[in-house]
């Protein structure tokens, strides 16, 4: 249905559900269950590999007449509405095709750029970055636009090819990590936060820059380390916040884990002590308390200007974890003082 927009199924679904941003709507609650499931696959909702389908199809532009400038992934395989989200919000040409924008002119003084209001300085800088990407683009009048399935550009999309792609994902690690975020002794808001963290959906500065909400100059970590504030950096590799893990491991008496991803870090940390389910549950809770403390400290520094030392952050982890366990378990063996020194 991406390829043949004149086909019967596309026309039937377009008539019933409508088209928005060049894509068929899912119909919401009024849509049929089978069509909503297909739409979920398109968006990758609930799949271990995230947006696996959308991330593996790109738009190859010929004359540009059938490709939407802002919402189709035709330039560097990422929709411009995602890469320059702020400009997209302000644009009055959201439904224009690549050909229409090219004809109007997308250069420095081109007529393609029509805004709801005058751009601010940092938004002008973002526009300049977008125009730089477009500067070497030329259209081919005799070639039609087409979709391309990246895993197999020659043969195109097949069910077998999609199956092989999905089975290459490290679904065991994904499932293990996401199952660990739900802990009966951890506040629900913390588990929801962890779910967003594992899916890289927290409003880190890197994510806000990629969505066009912050300027590219505002991407540095709040700790002052000089690195970009991505989720992996903030929670794992930051010279400031990342050093907290060594203190946590020393406190509970387990070796420091070394992982390349947040998911792997969570799984490996939880299984460090081995042994009983109770020990794994304990480490699971400590990890959730640790990332929660890091995130709240980040927000305090960003929004209130208050700063805690790494030792103070460790104390907060000890306090939160003790309170969570004490609130939900009347048989907690450790008293407050023994917990503070050696909980295991």
* CA–CA dist 70, 8 (Å, integer): 27
Cβ(98)–Cβ(48) below 8 Å:
no
- Say yes or no to pLDDT of 46 above 60: no
Percent above pLDDT 90 for the chain: 35
Q: What is the pTM of this model?
A: 0.53
* CA–CA dist 265, 254 (Å, integer): 14
Q: Which residues contact 30 (CB under 8 A, 6 or more apart)?
A: none
- Say yes or no to pLDDT of 333 above 60: no
* CA–CA dist 238, 216 (Å, integer): 19
DSSP bridge pairs for 146: 60
Confidence class for position 301, pLDDT limits 50, 70, 90: very high
For the purposes of burial, counting CB atoms within 10 Å of the CB of 64, is it exposed (0-12), middle (13-18) or buried (19 or more)? buried
pLDDT at 180: 80
- Say yes or no to pLDDT of 82 above 50: yes
Reference 106, options 116, 118, 96, 121; nearest CA is 96
pLDDT at 45: 46
Query: What tens digit of pLDDT does each residue of 268-281 get?
Result: 888 765 556 778 88
Counts of helices then strands in the chain (DSSP H, E)? 16, 4
- Say yes or no to pLDDT of 318 above 90: yes
DSSP bridge pairs for 57: 149
Reference 174, options 46, 77, 78, 272; nearest CA is 46
Cβ(315)–Cβ(218) below 8 Å:
no
Cβ(84)–Cβ(126) below 8 Å:
yes
Confidence class for position 172, pLDDT limits 50, 70, 90: very low
The torsion of the CA quartet 177, 181, 182, 183, rounded to 10 degrees, works out to 110
Query: What tens digit of pLDDT does each residue of 97-153 get?
Result: 999 999 999 988 899 999 999 998 888 988 998 998 898 888 998 898 888 887 777
């Amino acid at each position: 249905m991406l390829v043949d927009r004149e086909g019967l199924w596309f026309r039937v679904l377009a008539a019933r559900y409508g088209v928005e941003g060049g894509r068929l709507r899912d119909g919401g609650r009024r849509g049929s269950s089978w069509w909503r499931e297909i739409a979920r696959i398109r968006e990758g909702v609930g799949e271990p590999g995230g947006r696996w389908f959308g991330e593996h199809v790109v738009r190859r532009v010929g004359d540009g007449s059938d490709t939407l400038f802002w919402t189709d992934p035709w330039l560097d395989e990422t929709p411009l509405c995602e890469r320059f989200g702020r400009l997209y919000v302000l644009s009055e040409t959201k439904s224009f095709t690549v050909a229409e924008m090219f004809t109007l002119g997308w250069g420095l003084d081109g007529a393609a750029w029509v805004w709801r209001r005058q751009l601010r300085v940092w938004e002008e800088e973002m526009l300049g970055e977008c125009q730089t990407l477009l500067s070497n683009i030329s259209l081919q009048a005799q070639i039609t636009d087409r979709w391309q399935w990246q895993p197999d550009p020659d043969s195109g999309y097949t069910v077998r090819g999609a199956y092989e792609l999905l089975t290459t994902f490290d679904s065991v690690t994904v499932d293990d990590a996401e199952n660990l975020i739900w802990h009966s002794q951890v506040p629900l808001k913390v588990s929801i936060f962890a779910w967003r963290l594992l899916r890289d959906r927290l409003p880190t500065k890197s994510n806000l820059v990629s969505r066009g909400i912050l300027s590219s100059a505002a991407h540095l970590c709040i700790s002052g380390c000089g690195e970009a504030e991505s989720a992996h950096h903030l929670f794992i590799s930051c010279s400031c916040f990342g050093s907290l893990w060594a203190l946590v491991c020393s406190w509970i008496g387990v070796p420091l884990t070394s992982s390349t991803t947040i998911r792997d870090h969570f799984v490996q940390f939880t299984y460090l002590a081995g042994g009983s389910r109770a020990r794994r549950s304990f480490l699971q809770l400590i990890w959730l308390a640790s990332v929660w403390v890091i995130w709240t400290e980040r927000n305090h520094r960003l929004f209130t200007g208050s700063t805690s030392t790494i030792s103070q952050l460790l104390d907060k982890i000890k306090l939160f974890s003790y309170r969570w366990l004490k609130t939900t378990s009347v048989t907690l063996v450790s008293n407050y003082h023994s917990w503070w020194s050696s909980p295991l």
